[in-house]
């Protein structure tokens, strides 16, 4: 059913496949031994042909593990420590043990409990997804991706149109896009642009509130962000402009992606050459000033300082001879985006950040 498309494992809010092979093997063993397997949760909807499609709200890791076993990608670890494969290709028959037909039939005849919901809204699907997560906890990025709102939907569209599309930004430079990090990076970048002229530093708590807004983003702002991402793709693709990515061998840190986007947004109307040169100088400066390039207040404030200088003179090298550089290099601040860590509320103030959309 997965291969035929009648089960959809990849709605927008779902995360990547995160179970390691060892955990997938243990699930197969548990099914053989009739151990308890938590129910799989589906939202059932009609496709364009009127056929039922089951959208996996919870259970993607389990269903993927089972399908991989059927396809011969995951083996069963027998008590004899021999590995048995459900499907073995002709070329591998001499090197792999195949599950005997009796045990194949046993496995294919097993049943797991499924819970199906009819006619759920997108918000209800995401609410259920957040509430029933089992096993590996959601990262901060995956929690943001599960929010249902006009802004979250727009972030998903930007991700699909500019990152995961064939020959998109996913392949233009080395950066972390696993477990919703590309969605998170785009959201951080757009948030910073939306908050201008305030120089905001994105955090999980700020982004949760911002993404949950019910007012849709404005058309002009959407066009500007779309243009920035297209220009980023062009700069990263063109040998005349991609020095900022090719001459610096280090992988692109999430906070670099965010503030490169902000830099391009603030340099709208400048030539591609100016913007490409500014990207190069920004990356050189942050790597000269910091050993750990993470999304924290210290690096964020430095990024805003670089951007303010580069928007005035994009062709000038950034040289900051002050007493804070050494201290910056020694500082090891916590990365806001690695795992979800709730923080205590420091103020009950209802004051909200003014954004371009609210102005």
CATH number at residue 63: 3.90.1530
303 and 178 co-located in one domain = yes
110 and 156 co-located in one domain = no
- Residues written for the chain: 359
Residue 130 lies in a domain: no
pTM score of the predicted model = 0.57
165 and 243 co-located in one domain = yes
Domain interval for residue 108: 7-125
**What string of pLDDT tens digits covers the 359 residues of the chain?**
677 778 989 887 787 888 888 889 989 988 988 888 888 889 898 888 888 899 898 889 899 999 999 999 988 876 667 888 899 988 888 889 899 999 999 999 998 889 888 878 877 787 777 777 655 566 778 778 778 789 988 998 999 889 888 888 877 877 777 778 889 899 999 999 999 999 999 988 899 899 888 899 999 999 999 999 999 999 989 999 999 898 887 788 999 999 999 999 999 989 999 999 999 999 999 999 998 888 899 999 999 999 999 998 887 776 554 434 444 444 444 444 433 333 333 333 344 555 655 55
Domain stop point among 105, 125, 145: 125
**How many structural domains is the chain composed of?**
2
72 and 159 co-located in one domain = no
Q: Cα(257)–Cα(237) distance, rounded to whole angstroms? A: 15
148 and 276 co-located in one domain = yes
212 and 258 co-located in one domain = yes
Residue 339 lies in a domain: no
146 and 244 co-located in one domain = yes
153 and 109 co-located in one domain = no
184 and 322 co-located in one domain = yes
200 and 264 co-located in one domain = yes
CB 340 within 8 A of CB 137: yes
CB 281 within 8 A of CB 316: yes
167 and 101 co-located in one domain = no
Residue 224 lies in a domain: yes
């Amino acid at each position: 059913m997965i291969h035929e498309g009648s089960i959809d494992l990849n709605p927008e809010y779902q995360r990547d496949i995160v179970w390691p092979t060892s955990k997938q093997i243990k699930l197969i063993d548990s099914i053989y031994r009739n151990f308890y397997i938590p129910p799989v949760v589906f939202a059932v909807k009609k496709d364009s042909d009127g056929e039922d499609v089951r959208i996996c709200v919870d259970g993607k890791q389990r269903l993927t593990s089972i399908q991989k076993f059927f396809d011969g990608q995951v083996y069963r670890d027998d008590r004899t420590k021999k590995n048995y494969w459900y499907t073995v290709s002709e070329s591998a028959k001499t090197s792999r043990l195949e599950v005997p037909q009796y045990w194949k039939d046993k496995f294919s005849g097993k049943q797991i409990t499924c819970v199906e919901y009819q006619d759920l809204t997108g918000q209800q699907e995401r609410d259920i997804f957040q509430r029933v997560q089992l096993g590996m906890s959601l990262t901060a990025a995956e929690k943001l991706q599960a929010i249902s709102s006009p802004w979250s939907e727009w972030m998903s569209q930007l991700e699909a149109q500019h990152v995961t599309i064939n020959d998109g930004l996913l392949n233009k430079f080395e950066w972390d896009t696993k477990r919703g990090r590309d969605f998170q990076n785009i959201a951080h970048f757009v948030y910073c642009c939306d908050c201008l002229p305030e120089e905001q530093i994105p955090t999980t708590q700020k982004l949760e509130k911002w993404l949950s807004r019910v007012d849709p983003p404005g058309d002009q702002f959407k066009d500007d962000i779309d243009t920035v991402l297209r220009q980023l793709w062009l700069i990263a693709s063109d040998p005349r402009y991609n020095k900022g990515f090719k001459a610096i061998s280090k992988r692109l840190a999430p906070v670099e992606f965010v503030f490169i986007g902000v830099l391009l947004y603030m340099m709208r109307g400048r030539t591609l050459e100016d913007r490409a040169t500014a990207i190069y100088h920004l990356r050189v400066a942050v790597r000269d000033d910091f050993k750990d390039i993470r999304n924290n207040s210290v690096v964020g404030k430095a990024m805003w300082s670089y951007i303010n200088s580069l928007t005035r003179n994009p062709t000038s090298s950034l040289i900051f001879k002050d007493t804070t550089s050494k201290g910056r290099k020694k500082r090891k601040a916590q990365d806001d985006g690695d795992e979800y860590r709730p923080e205590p509320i420091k103020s009950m103030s209802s004051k909200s950040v003014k954004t371009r959309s609210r102005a």
